[in-house]
Amino acid sequence: MTSISNAGIGSTRVALVGNPNTGKSTLFNALAGLSVRTGNYPGVTIEKKIGRCFIPGACVIDLVDLPGTYSLAPRSPDELVAVEVLTDKANREPPVELIICVVNALMLQRNLFLVSQLLELGKPVIVVLNMMDSARSRGVMVDVEKLSESLGVPVVPTSATKREGLDLLRTEIAELLNDSSKKTQRVHILPEAFYDTRDQFRQAIQNKLNDSPESLAANQDSKTKIHGELQDYLNEDYFVERMLLDRGGASELRLVETLGNFGKELLGQWRDTLANRVGDATDMECNARYDWAKQKLSGIVLGGADSGDSLTDRIDSVLTHRIWGMISFILIMFFVFQSIYTVASWPMDQIDAATGYLSELVINQMGPGMLRSLITDGVIAGVGGVLIFLPQIALLFLFLAVLEDCGYIARASFLVDRLMSLFGLSGKSFLPMMSSFACAIPGVMATRVIENRRDRFATIMVAPLMSCSARLPVYLLLISAFIPDDGLLGGWLSLPALVLMSMYAVGVLVAIPVSLILKWTILRGETAPFVLELPEYKVPAARVVLTRVWEASLAFVLRAGTLIFAATILIWFAGYWPGDHTRELEIERSLESAQLTEQESETATQELRAIKTDLLERSLLGKMGHTIEPVVAPLGWDWKIGVGAIASFPAREVIIATLGTIYSLDGDEDEEGLIGAIRSSTHPDGTPVYTVPVALSIMVFFALCAQCVSTLIVIQKETNSWSWPVLSFSYMTILAYLAAMLTFQIGTRFF
Amino acid sequence: MRLVLNSEKGAVNTTLDQLKPGQKAEILHIDGVDGIASRLREMGFVRGELVKFLRTAPFGGPVKCAIHGSRIAVRGGEAQRISVQLLG
């Protein structure tokens, strides 16, 4: 145990665990405030969330928020981390001195399942009886003192949303941390025959390890390390128990990794023995734990009859109805997306105006030159181009946080699960996919709600195929330039709208086979169970919602902003260098000095355009464009479009600015000017560059390509590996190229 | 695995997916020993518990039921693995 003296320096680790929907996040936020740091555990994708809290009379504690779980039976490497943290087996993680388990006062019996497993770890446990306010209002009375006596650990009643009971909890934490004699005994909840079998099984492995280390499955070099890891596991009763109990679980995997077939045989043998002694292991475990919970709760919970027609059930009879539910679902989604576009447009215009003003300010303050070009064309245009999406992202997260916290997202997942199974995914993938229509970044971040790793990764891989708001300007530019405004179906549908809708549909239709192929190949495995709890509806907690919005916005600005910033400077540099910009600067200077007549200024502007085009052709970017021309020719593109596509690698909408620059316009001119320029653009032989098939081919390319560095970076962060963003980029680029070629080649047969 | 002993007279043994909205049943057992079966057990689908069928999602989606004072949605295929004895 940590004493006060050293706790002040290193601070004490306290873990926060609990079932989903127990108000654990609210409690975490209430205790930790804004001191929360997030990161990843090495090698896995679960988020590491730590908040620092000051406990009066004791010390500073680092509160680790572990993902909500119903049980401590790890089935994936991700779930294993939570158990490793709790048992001090996690790599480079400080030991956990105390476990706080949050339980929902309304569902005590089921919540005690997790508590029963925590008590077996032999660490001090505090049970936080949360949601006492809603229990009270439902007429459920819990005898807290009796419960504490019955469980043998402190029980603290709280209402995290109302911030009630927090002081009592802090006092209890201080008391437990200061008094090492309160260390909890390991409780035996399962039949004694099970624990005997466990010890015999452990002895059998231990004998094997001691007698013949050469039987280890691994090669000589890593043997010692793996041997040590398994030894570590064997020393922890809980892991040995999980090996016997969880078929195909993460601790079984660890054993088989180390001992190979021998481990498998040994395990099979001892599981048979166990079955002979106590019956089927999982059945035995779950029944024993529920019986234990029932016994512990007898005479402790009073009232709270069948919740047959609570308010939640009445709301649900509409919102999960097969007809009314679907209609309200569509209306809610429509409202969210409509609001994102309409409400966000004002702040977006302001950001746009601010960047314009800023670059004007720089232009007025500085003479023409390389530094000015870097600041205005590179930094301000680049960073401004990213920040402009911040309002949409913040709004989207606001809506998502509200919908999730009030309990609606679970209903939406329930309603669309069947639909999502077309993708080989479950209803839980719906939210990330839907968010990706606004922006793939929050979409990818939202996959954290999917606890199954394979489903989560498949969703991350296909979410960027949904047409995000950054593709919209590209579609709009090309559609308004080349698609005639004809009415279809007697004027009910316009051709441009149909083309726009088709672009959105392309992404969705392609996502189906991609996701299915992923689930059949690299993400193949046991189907994820779709077991979803539909929580009580509640008024969303402002604190939770605003924290979510703040975290998401900050992450977006920090993660994506820094990278886009660097990438834009690179693109700017490639378009600027090498080349002699003296003449360009001379003209710009004379134009800005405003001493010219209208006639002179016209000629100067024209010369400036010619020089700019010439400089661009000679630049690194121009040379690259000419090099790749043969590659993009089958798509119907000329080198300028090719360069545009390369330049838009940081973000799709960059192509508009790039094409603007390329077509000798300065970026500030409106889209009408660019539309005119691309309409009249010709090949050297005089034929027009842009035809309808070319425009369609560009749109299809942008619908499917992965031209968005921020998304790739977020994928890297969320998957904790570089191979996923690389895969994402490669498959999407290949797909985009092939589809664009197909579009052009088929299109030219028709137009 | 699929041996359901029906000791009580007149008791109807069926699976969770076969219930109608509003019907209540007692859980008998869950088929299989895989991760899905364990997850269901952990969520409270254990022998002797009472479950109330609430509704099915559109297009043959998951079924929603009430158990342990909470509302749980499981897919049809998973519900089919939960053997129950119809009550009342």
Q: Decide: B56 and B63 in contact? Cβ < 8 Å.
A: yes
**Number of helical (H) and strand (E) elements in chain A, helices listed first:** 34, 12
**How many structural domains compose chain B?**
1
A245 to chain B, closest Cα gap in Å = 10
DSSP string, A365-399: HS-SSHHHHIIIIIIIHHHHHHHTTHHHHHHHHHH
SS3 state at A497: helix
Q: Among A195, A206, A50, A182, which residue's Cα sits nearest to residue A122? A: A182
Mutate which: A19, A319, A320, vs B, most B CBs within 10 A = A320
Residues 310-349, chain A, touching B (beta carbon < 8 A): 312-313, 316, 320-323, 325-326
Q: Decide: A713 and A558 in contact? Cβ < 8 Å.
A: no
Please state, in angstroms and rounded to a whole number, the distance separating the CA atoms of residues A339 and A174: 47
Q: ipTM of the assembly?
A: 0.88
- pLDDT at residue A673, as a whole number: 60
- For residue A36, which amino acid is it? V
- For residue A721, which amino acid is it? S
How many residues make up chain B in this entry?
88
When CB atoms are compared, the residue of B41, B64, B70 closest to A107 is B70
Q: Decide: A278 and A191 in contact? Cβ < 8 Å.
A: yes
Supply A205's token pair: 């492995």
Any chain B CB within 8 A of the CB of A287? yes
CATH code, domain with B48? 2.30.30.90
A535 neighbourhood in chain B, CB within 8 Å:
70-71
Mutate which: A282, A327, A419, A527, vs B, most B CBs within 10 A = A282
The parts of chain B modelled with pLDDT lower than 70 are 1-10
In DSSP terms, B53 is beta-bridged to B65
φ/ψ region of A129 (left if φ > 0, alpha if ψ in -120 to 50, else beta) reads: beta
Please state, in angstroms and rounded to a whole number, the distance separating the CA atoms of residues A240 and A148: 29
Domain range for B9 = 4-86
Mean pLDDT of chain B: 85
- pLDDT at residue A223, as a whole number: 63
- pLDDT at residue A180, as a whole number: 67
Q: Decide: A81 and A46 in contact? Cβ < 8 Å.
A: yes
The whole-number mean pLDDT for each consecutive block of 10 residues of chain A, a chain of 751 residues, reads 40 90 88 77 74 83 90 82 88 88 92 94 93 85 93 93 90 86 76 93 87 58 69 87 88 83 88 90 89 91 65 90 92 80 82 84 81 76 72 83 89 90 87 84 83 88 90 83 75 79 89 93 80 88 84 73 69 78 79 76 78 79 86 89 81 72 47 67 76 92 90 87 94 96 91 68
Any chain B CB within 8 A of the CB of A407? no
Q: Decide: B41 and B32 in contact? Cβ < 8 Å.
A: no
B47 neighbourhood in chain A, CB within 8 Å:
283, 287
Q: Among A592, A555, A561, which residue's Cα sits nearest to residue A379? A: A561
Mutate which: A109, A140, A414, A430, vs B, most B CBs within 10 A = A414
- pLDDT at residue A259, as a whole number: 80
Supply A193's token pair: 């025959």
A661 to chain B, closest Cα gap in Å = 51
Any chain B CB within 8 A of the CB of A204? no
When CB atoms are compared, the residue of B58, B70, B71 closest to A110 is B70
